């Protein structure tokens, strides 16, 4: 295997960095997610190629979770292998996140938001990723049955133990986000970032007041599934390709491609063409046009997809007419 040498021009290749809320952290406007394409079932050579390409273009933020794969844990193992094969010399140039909150191992201690689960899960994640610490650890979802103080204190203690530098939360409802901001601030571990799904098909963080709250309180916001898992690209305009996420069918099901959805994708695709952009590029730049958004967290099954998606960094502004038509 050829030794990886990062591109010397990686910070001059067009990436722009944005401050994450009112913190000291700058994140690339486009970050790379490991949910798909980095599992034990995937081709390691291709996963490696995608991460090399990303890092060479200034994508310094990789996002993982304990149960990304399949099988569960294997995306973190892939990252561990990548650290040894390629990225160890660049550890301090990388911002690596992982999460716990969904089902990970059997029994009552491998799911949700208890102190028991979060702390033992992060210990496992660090071993799989061959890291001493992560830059960012997330509570992956809100747990209505565990006292919020228990989850939040576990997050504070994780930072104090040195196993994570910053804390984030994902998919928490507004009322719980408000509690988290206050609790974490009072315990000297300010919330760095909120991870939520914001894209042209799902505007709920805007509608529910999450984005406003983050903006007011100086918390960063990173959008997951910004391309609606590939719907907001040219992937499904002319049928369902054999090698697409929809063909695999677990998370993006064929029933989701209704006539209404297809009509909306076509309408957006025509708008993008008028802007001389691809639909993916326009969909990502729409998200980034919101001041409170720090980064879009994309997935990619090839370097070509990433190359196209990176164009969003320089996309043009939106007129009010365009925004109304979206």
Which one, 89 or 173, has the nearer CB to ligand NAP? 173
Among 98, 191, 305, 312, binds ligand NAP (CB under 6 A): 305
Query: Shortest approach of ligand NAP to residue 320 CB, angstroms?
Result: 26
Terminal CA-CA length for the chain: 46
Query: Shortest approach of ligand NAP to residue 221 CB, angstroms?
Result: 12
Exposed / middle / buried, residue 261 (Cβ in 10 Å: 0-12, 13-18, 19+) = middle
Among 23, 124, 153, 244, binds ligand NAP (CB under 6 A): 244
Site residues for ligand NAP, 46-75, by CB under 6 A, read 63
279-288 vs 259-274: helix axis angle to the nearest 10? 80
Strand duo 26-28 + 17-19: pairing = antiparallel
The Cβ-side half-sphere exposure at 70, using a 13 Å CA radius, reads 4
Phi-psi region of 162 (alpha: psi -120 to 50; beta: other; left: phi over 0): left
Which positions from 190 to 219 touch ligand NAP by CB under 6 A, shown as an x/- string? -----x------------------------
Residue 221 lies near ligand NAP (rule: CB under 6 A):
no
Q: In this structure, what token pair is assigned to residue 249?
A: 């069918």
Site residues for ligand NAP, 171-190, by CB under 6 A, read 171
Which one, 189 or 305, has the nearer CB to ligand NAP? 305
Residue 235 lies near ligand NAP (rule: CB under 6 A):
yes
Only one of the segments 22-30, 33-41, 83-91, 318-326 lies at the binding site for ligand NAP (rule: CB under 6 A); that segment is: 33-41
- The Cα–Cα gap between 47 and 40 comes to 10
Residue 163 lies near ligand NAP (rule: CB under 6 A):
no
Among 27, 214, 297, 310, binds ligand NAP (CB under 6 A): 297
- The Cα–Cα gap between 193 and 21 comes to 7
Only one of the segments 83-91, 117-125, 157-165, 305-313 lies at the binding site for ligand NAP (rule: CB under 6 A); that segment is: 305-313
- DSSP H or E run through 295: strand 293-298
- The Cα–Cα gap between 45 and 49 comes to 6
Q: Give me the residues that bind ligand NAP (CB under 6 A), please.
A: 33-37, 63, 140, 170-171, 195, 224-230, 233, 235, 244-245, 280, 297-301, 305, 308-309
């Amino acid at each position: 295997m050829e030794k990886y040498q990062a591109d010397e021009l990686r910070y001059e290749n067009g990436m722009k960095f944005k401050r994450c809320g009112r913190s000291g952290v700058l994140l690339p406007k486009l970050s790379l997610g490991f949910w798909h394409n980095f599992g034990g079932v995937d081709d390691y050579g291709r996963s490696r190629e995608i991460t090399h390409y990303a890092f060479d273009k200034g994508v310094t933020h990789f996002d993982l979770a304990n149960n990304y794969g399949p099988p569960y844990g294997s995306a973190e193992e892939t990252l561990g292998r990548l650290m040894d094969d390629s990225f160890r010399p660049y550890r301090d140039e990388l911002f690596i996140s992982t999460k716990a909150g969904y089902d990970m191992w059997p029994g009552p201690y491998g799911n949700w938001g208890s102190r028991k689960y979060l702390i033992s899960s992060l210990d496992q994640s660090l071993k799989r990723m061959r890291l001493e610490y992560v830059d960012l650890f997330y509570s992956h979802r809100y747990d209505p049955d565990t006292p919020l103080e228990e989850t939040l204190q576990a997050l504070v203690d994780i930072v104090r133990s040195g196993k994570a530098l910053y804390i984030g939360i994902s998919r928490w409802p507004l009322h719980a986000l408000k509690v988290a901001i206050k609790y974490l601030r009072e315990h000297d571990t300010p919330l760095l970032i909120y991870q939520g799904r914001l894209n042209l098909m799902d505007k709920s963080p805007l509608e529910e007041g999450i984005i406003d709250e983050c903006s007011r309180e100086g918390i960063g916001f990173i959008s997951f599934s910004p391309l609606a898992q590939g719907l907001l690209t040219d992937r499904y305009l002319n049928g369902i390709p054999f090698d697409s996420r929809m063909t695999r069918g677990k998370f993006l099901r064929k029933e989701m491609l209704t006539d209404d959805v297809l009509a909306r994708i076509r309408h957006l695709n025509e708008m993008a063409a008028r802007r001389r952009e691809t639909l993916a590029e326009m969909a990502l730049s729409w998200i980034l046009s919101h001041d409170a958004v720090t980064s879009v967290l994309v997935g990619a099954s090839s370097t070509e997809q990433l190359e196209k998606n990176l164009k969003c960094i320089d996309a043009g502004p939106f007129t009010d007419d365009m925004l109304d038509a979206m």
